[in-house]
With several copies, the nearest count.
Chain A
């Protein structure tokens, strides 16, 4: 799960990483009261998961309470504009009112999991405040990396090496190893897939401060930090994830596409292959859906309704390879599900093979459903029926 800036900064603060003074507000009036109580130079920042807040005008400075109220109202009035990854944009429910820093330099520091090295990796650059992908393109030589040996963990020399290798301004050097160490502790304590400080600011008065915070947590590790796991409810899942959650399949197991061939398979690999088969047959996929292991009637019905009610599917291709999942059970699940559902009916194409496939096919036949022989056959038939 991705954290918003103010949540990430709360973790930073706990871990001992310097962050600007701030207040979190859900209304323009709260912003006003906060600035009244804490006079000074403030920045009002929209709290959203999407990037590109600055360009979208969702970060604005404010000097008094009145200005604070006004810019907060302006920021919260419209959602973040859509982009390729979030075609719906994102509603702004709160803002962070933050100390305006007198920034002299901006650097970049992140830790993520490197799949190939199978180690946590630090990435540091003396170019901060811009997309790291952009830095990687424009200043590849500025990127310093360090792959951490998890048996040893973090030791301050790592921070020193990174600071020198990335040629950070000497003003960073004293503070950097401790900040990098705190970030590493946080990365492990919370099971983060990514922790990113961009920019890590060096102020004119010599402080090194995390001016932004991006934290992406491993959902599988959330149970270890119940306090943080609760934040989940306050975070907007994207619509597909919400639908998946509602249907009781894992939030990663459903995703919609603009086509009209609905699909469902057991196992993510097979579900992807099923999508590919439909494409190969010239069809346009309506969704990715992994029904998982136990494909009982309730689960099948939920999946059917999920697809029928939320995608442009005009046909539903069910592709089951009975390994551990037994074919007869799945067949019974499909028959029951179709009998129970109140949703509109669209044609089914069923491919059912593997363990107990004869019995499964017999059950389907009794219910008037004729399964196809292979995945490719199924894909072809589904594409035919869809068009």
Chain B
């Protein structure tokens, strides 16, 4: 198993004939993703270099291919429209790579597309190594295995995964949840899925400053995953408050979203927090060999 995505998931690409869409569609296709077609309005009836059918609308694509997953590569002004189109066409999981979507668009999409899971926006996508890749992640650094990986950023995820793979710790599914202030799927929502995934035997949570996703993830792990080996990392410990660093989401306001608050939350849940990415594999191996985590204090 794996979460959200496996080798049977039928995937389309919205914006498949664009520069980014076609480049990454090719990479996904080569990785072995069950890519069944793509959408570009006005180019319906064409065929991509990989031999995939292009449709004018998501509705036609879904009707013709039975697609359930859609990877969205359209410019920010058109991304909300693309997500609504996916939703109304019956797509159940939309992976939105687009960076720079107005936050109010995301707010409205997230508030009105109940029943469709959205990964992102502003995310590197989703991979279940050995099965399927949807997004822009470099497939060759991943390896199939039992570690679920959650992360808010792209290249940091690759750094961590690369370390895991080199240490022999393969991955079940890696989810880049996205760096925007409003995202479709939070850490906790991913953790709920990992909880029920038999393939996932351990977890790495790569958080960063800003928001409260890490604190909520820590609480969930403490309460619902007492036996799962987990290691956390919190990026941006040296960021100044009140200023956003790159990611629209990475901004500290008040005492909320500070690295201290996040680290404290993980530690309260019995989750060791690596001081640097390179410590993660060893920490995780130790957690795995130790078995069950110590029970949490009742006060938490």
Contact = CB atoms under 8 A, between A and B. Distances in A.
Interface stretch (B155-163, B193-201, B224-232): B155-163
B148 interface: no
Nearest to A238: B243
Contact of A272 (B100, B112, B138, B250): B250
Contacts of A280: 275-276
A18 interface: no
Interface stretch (B28-36, B64-72, B79-87): B79-87
Interface in B268-299: 275-278
Interface string B143-177: 00000000111111111001000000000000000
B276 A270 contact: no
Contact of B246 (A151, A152, A271, A324): A271
Interface string A230-262: 000000000000000000001011010100000
A282 interface: no
A273 B76 contact: no
Given A149-B112, A255-B243, A375-B278, A279 B238 contact: yes
A323 interface: yes
A21 interface: no
Majority DSSP secondary structure for residues of A touching B: mixed
A189 to B, nearest CB: 9
Interface residues of B, number: 76
Interface string A118-150: 111000000000000100000000000000011
Contacts of B249: 115
A198 interface: no
A220 B277 CA distance: 31
A160 B245 contact: no
A182 interface: no
Interface in A198-254: 218, 220-221, 223-224, 250, 252-253
Contacts, number: 201
The interface size bin for chain A is 35 or more
B18 interface: no
A193 B84 CA distance: 23
A150 B108 CA distance: 6
Contacts of B236: 272, 275-276
A360 interface: no
Interface of A: 85, 113, 115-116, 118-120, 133, 149-152, 155-157, 160-161, 164, 170, 173, 187-188, 191, 193, 218, 220-221, 223-224, 250, 252-253, 255, 257, 265-273, 275-277, 279-280, 285, 288, 290, 321-324, 353-355, 374-376
Interface of B: 41-42, 44, 56-60, 76-78, 80-82, 84-85, 87-88, 100-105, 107-108, 110-113, 124, 136-138, 140-141, 151-159, 162, 179, 181-182, 206, 208-209, 211-213, 216, 235-240, 242-250, 254, 275-278
30 contacts: A113-B181, A115-B181, A115-B211, A119-B107, A133-B254, A149-B88, A152-B108, A155-B80, A155-B85, A156-B81, A160-B41, A164-B44, A164-B56, A164-B57, A164-B60, A173-B42, A187-B104, A218-B103, A223-B77, A252-B246, A267-B246, A269-B154, A269-B246, A272-B209, A279-B237, A322-B138, A323-B155, A323-B158, A324-B138, A375-B276
Given A118-B110, A276-B276, 8 more contacts: A118-B182, A133-B254, A149-B112, A160-B85, A221-B102, A269-B206, A321-B158, A323-B141
